[in-house]
Chains A and B, each alone.
Chain A
Amino acid sequence: MLDQYTGVAIMLLMAIGIAGGMVLMTSILGPKKRFADKMEPFECGESQLVSPRQRFSVKFYLVAVLFVLFDIEAVFFFPWAILFKRLGVFGFVEMLLFILILGVGLMYVWRRGGLDWE
């Protein structure tokens, strides 16, 4: 069981090495000439007028919450899909109900305007 994941672990370490090495290399190599104007955030040549660290549209938050809800529901599908043959008609009917509930949830969000962007 754990044996299968040895390859993944090796790959993990190697990826950390590559990614870290690249960041390190680009920080070491290359010139370092600092002056005040260069260190300003890019804003089409202007100095920054307002800080970007402000409130942003609540829509993004809503999408994230909806994603968590639907993704958890999607997670329940995976074991069902694998055991589909073994569960037979019982599993099928159970899942039909589950999909129905999921569909009702989607319809509710849809009708309440949760999926509209103004």
Chain B
Amino acid sequence: MSEFIDEVLEFIDPLFEPAFMIGSIKALVIAAALLGVVPPLVWLERRLMGRFQVRLGPNRVGPLGLGQPFADSIKLLFKESIIQSSADKFLYHLAPAVVVFTAIVAFAVIPFGEPVTVFGQEIGLWGANINSGILFIFAISGMGIYGMVLAGLSSNNKYSLMGGLRSSAQMISYELTLGLSALSVIVLTGSLNLIDLVQNQSTVPYIFLQPLAFLLFFIAGVAETNRAPFDLPEAEQELVAGFHTEYTGMKFAMFFMGEYINMVTMSSMITLLFLGGWNAYGLPLWPILAFAIKVFFLLCVFIWLRSTFPRLRYDRLMTFGWKVLLPLCILNLLVTSVIKVL
């Protein structure tokens, strides 16, 4: 019996190693922060949209209406989850889970500050520091397309199907632009590691060296997160709500959670690649605060774009991606490498 206990203890021994413990705590903190940032972000969007449209926005629940998104999420949790009878049950349940899953995992490799020393242990402010950080994020956020396509296909509803098809075609088209515009930054750095990228920008952020790449990456990023003016998959006037027409309750909310977490991830990516990450450039800010301010600014720009631009027509959207952004990306890469070689 004691031998058995010894074996069990030996088996679970690695779980008590400091590296594993710290990793678990970090993962827990990051996941909690991501889930916790969604309600305030919804609140921010609704308040800002209200101001942009010369109205107040939600202001009844709690101080400044801050309780509104929390009340909404509790309400959604206790709503009936309707699965219409002709839907594919398994895929129908899988789709929102895939969306949330990919959104959370993609954030695992994003660093948001220099390593800090706590209790004699050096702790990096990131979930994981992998050498191929950028590729990892592209790969995982690419998987998010599955969630939308599966939602569209499994619902057995023509609006959902159209929304799912549209979103897949849109996202794969703009993913090319996203990858290729990030490449010109990688040419300058020579590394896919996000921490190396930030350290290379300690004197000047890449937005000044690569303004066109920044613009392309930003546009593609807005399209990747399905935000207005690229919110064709949802297009409520034509497609009701696109791929999540048939969803109710928390499963409906999960698509929105995915969207908002993706917004945060995309803003962090833009900050890391072009705005110098946590470098404060002489301003007396903590690294993590500098990072947070930049991300917050970009999130506000995302919301600002939504209230400024009308939605694109679908054929315009696709031709814009393939005929304008993609050639510009290739051209920018070419020019960057020519300058770099000279």
Query: Do the two chains belong together in a single complex?
Result: yes
Tell me whether B81 and A27 are in contact (CB under 8 A).
yes
Closest B residue by C-beta to A13: B27
Please classify how large the interface on chain B is, using the bins under 10, 10 to 19, 20 to 34, 35 or more.
Answer: 35 or more
**Chain A CB within 8 A of B148 CB:** no
Which of B26, B180, B250, B333 lies in contact with A26, CB distance below 8 A? B250
Mask of B182-198 contacts with A, CB within 8 angstroms, 1/0: 01001100111000000
Tell me whether B128 and A92 are in contact (CB under 8 A).
no
Tell me whether A63 and B27 are in contact (CB under 8 A).
no
| Residues of B contacting A56 in the complex (Cβ-Cβ under 8 angstroms) | 161, 165
Tell me whether B183 and A11 are in contact (CB under 8 A).
no
A41-B155, A42-B240 known; A64 and B35 CB under 8 Å?
Answer: no
Closest A residue by C-beta to B22: A7
Closest A residue by C-beta to B128: A7
In the assembly, what is the distance between CA of A47 and CA of B30, in Å? 45
In the assembly, what is the distance between CA of A95 and CA of B337, in Å? 9
Which of B81, B83, B101 lies in contact with A19, CB distance below 8 A? B101
**Chain B CB within 8 A of A108 CB:** no
Mask of B168-181 contacts with A, CB within 8 angstroms, 1/0: 11001101100110
| Residues of A contacting B338 in the complex (Cβ-Cβ under 8 angstroms) | 92
In the assembly, what is the distance between CA of A116 and CA of B322, in Å? 9
**Chain A CB within 8 A of B108 CB:** yes
**Chain A CB within 8 A of B62 CB:** no
Q: From residue A38, how far is it (CB to closest CB) to chain B in Å?
A: 6
Q: List residues of A (42-76) whose CB comes within 8 Å of B's CBs.
A: 42-44, 50-53, 56, 59-60, 63-64, 66-67, 70-71, 74
Q: From residue B74, how far is it (CB to closest CB) to chain A in Å?
A: 10
Q: From residue A6, how far is it (CB to closest CB) to chain B in Å?
A: 5
| Residues of A contacting B82 in the complex (Cβ-Cβ under 8 angstroms) | 38-39
Q: From residue A82, how far is it (CB to closest CB) to chain B in Å?
A: 6
| Residues of B contacting A44 in the complex (Cβ-Cβ under 8 angstroms) | 240
In the assembly, what is the distance between CA of A71 and CA of B133, in Å? 18
A23-B96, A30-B81, A103-B330 known; A8 and B128 CB under 8 Å?
Answer: yes
Tell me whether A8 and B108 are in contact (CB under 8 A).
yes
- 20 interchain pairs, CB-CB under 8 A: A6-B19, A7-B108, A8-B108, A11-B107, A14-B28, A18-B31, A22-B250, A25-B250, A27-B81, A39-B82, A53-B156, A77-B183, A77-B333, A78-B183, A78-B186, A82-B191, A84-B187, A99-B330, A106-B326, A110-B323
Please name the 8 residue pairs, one residue from A and one from B, whose CB atoms are nearest each other, closest first: A7-B128, A26-B250, A117-B315, A11-B108, A52-B158, A19-B97, A15-B104, A67-B172
Given A7-B108, A78-B183, A82-B192, 20 extra CB contacts under 8 A:
A3-B19, A5-B128, A11-B128, A18-B31, A22-B251, A26-B79, A29-B77, A30-B81, A40-B84, A63-B169, A64-B169, A71-B172, A71-B176, A78-B192, A81-B190, A92-B338, A92-B341, A95-B337, A115-B323, A117-B319
| Residues in B lying within 8 Å of A, measured CB to CB | 19-20, 23-24, 26-28, 30-31, 35, 77-87, 93, 96-98, 100-101, 104-105, 107-109, 126-131, 135-136, 155-161, 165, 168-169, 172-173, 175-176, 179-180, 183, 186-187, 190-192, 240, 245-246, 249-251, 254, 314-315, 318-319, 322-323, 326-327, 330, 333-334, 337-338, 340-341
